[in-house]
Structure 1
């Protein structure tokens, strides 16, 4: 006779499964493929033509915008903003503050480790408008901005009493900001497109992984409130 199934085991929530597959596993697979080619010093055929095309169609106004975004998306601006938000989260929820600190600061530290490991030289396709030092892969600006925005979107319930009203606008604005920061790194000639892509994907994967481990209890309750009624009933019976 087969033993009875464990009825106390909770089914995996669709949102958690989506975060695992699209937020962690898929980005890490893509970064792994790119990283392997970078370590083997292989060239991506599309990168130089794409960068030269962007440079040929750039304008002084776009170059100025890229410089501004490089400053806004760098540590000079995001780091103080992160510190202020960390204090705000700490005042409202210590768990939220710990998650935000590990998500954002951890992404910055991870970027430094990855740059040291891959040690990819920066592109030298035209005289740069601003000088950058250090390795090229992955883009620190792209990785940090992606981690910063993703963490904030996940913590919207701790910033507003009506999270459903602000989550989509925050997501759209955050995505636009991250895309523009990544574009600025290519427009300025300080990063290859694959540096930017790897930065985005690694930042998102790091934050979602951190979220799975350090998700504040209040957000777990909010997620359960959006579960189907049948699951709520099962959960209440198990309790």
Structure 2
């Protein structure tokens, strides 16, 4: 029993760092942006940033942005996530629960935030694609960030953690930038999508991981 109690009360520095940098600080930034938007404020740099980005548009970049926007959306990420969920279910229920809550939960949270915020999308030039839901936060950025963060956490104790980290960050970053290039989001939409998606997954991990550690410690104590 004493071993189990010590496990429960031991707080590792990496857990505190993850809590502050990965959850609290990002959510504080998202909350500040959301508060300004709800009060009807805008960010002066956003339109000029988007126009500057659009000034570099080329047919090749158009096709690349459309491709990234497609693979980074729910129509591609959702089926892949379902396959990963099924694979994890056969490997262990705990991993499947984490994956389901992390990825599906982020999608649900994004829908809720869009309903609460009602931010209209930018209309700065004739767009290549049309979107009809709210702009804040970017669903593509949030889905991809949640998907990538969950993959990184699952692979962290394996030889694949650095490829997952590097390629995952590059993928989510490229998806978010494609949404800005296409003019369907403001920069704060994308930034807050990234931050919220990653913070949500880290929060789910922070809740489920100590529970799993506690159960393992309990079983080890019972076996002695």
Fold in common (TM above 0.5):
yes
Which runs of at least 4 in structure 1 moved beyond 2 Å after TM superposition? 7-11, 215-218
Matched, 1:169 2:163: yes
Which protein has the larger Cα radius of gyration, Structure 1 or Structure 2?
A: 1
Corresponding position of 1:198: 192
Rounded to whole Å, the distance in 2 between the matches of 1:40 and 1:123 is 18
Corresponding position of 1:138: 137
Rounded to whole Å, the distance in 1 between the matches of 2:46 and 2:118 is 18
1:96-121 Cα distance to aligned partner (Å, 9 max, x none): 00010000000000000000000000
Corresponding position of 1:215: 209
Matched, 1:116 2:115: yes
Rounded to whole Å, the distance in 2 between the matches of 1:135 and 1:175 is 25
Rounded to whole Å, the distance in 2 between the matches of 1:216 and 1:181 is 32
Shift of 1:216: 8.1
Matched, 1:23 2:22: yes
- Structure 1 length-normalised TM: 0.84
Rounded to whole Å, the distance in 2 between the matches of 1:109 and 1:75 is 12
Secondary structure of the residue that 1:84 maps to in structure 2?
Answer: helix
1:104-154 Cα distance to aligned partner (Å, 9 max, x none): 000000000000000000000000001111000000000010000001111
Matched, 1:179 2:173: yes
1:162-201 Cα distance to aligned partner (Å, 9 max, x none): x442101110000000000000010000000000001000
Where structure 2 has 5 or more consecutive residues not aligned to the other structure, the ranges are: none
Quick check: which one's helix share is greater? 2
1:200-236 Cα distance to aligned partner (Å, 9 max, x none): 0000111011111122877x59xx9xxxxxxxxxxx9
Check the 8 A contact 1:99/1:216 in 2, yes or no: no
Corresponding position of 2:45: 46
Corresponding position of 1:64: 63
Check the 8 A contact 1:96/1:215 in 2, yes or no: no
- How many residue pairs get aligned? The number is 212
Rounded to whole Å, the distance in 2 between the matches of 1:13 and 1:204 is 20
Corresponding position of 1:93: 92
Is the alpha carbon distance of 1:89 and 1:217 closer, same or farther for their aligned partners in structure 2, counting shifts above 3 Å? Answer: farther
Shift of 1:58: 1.9
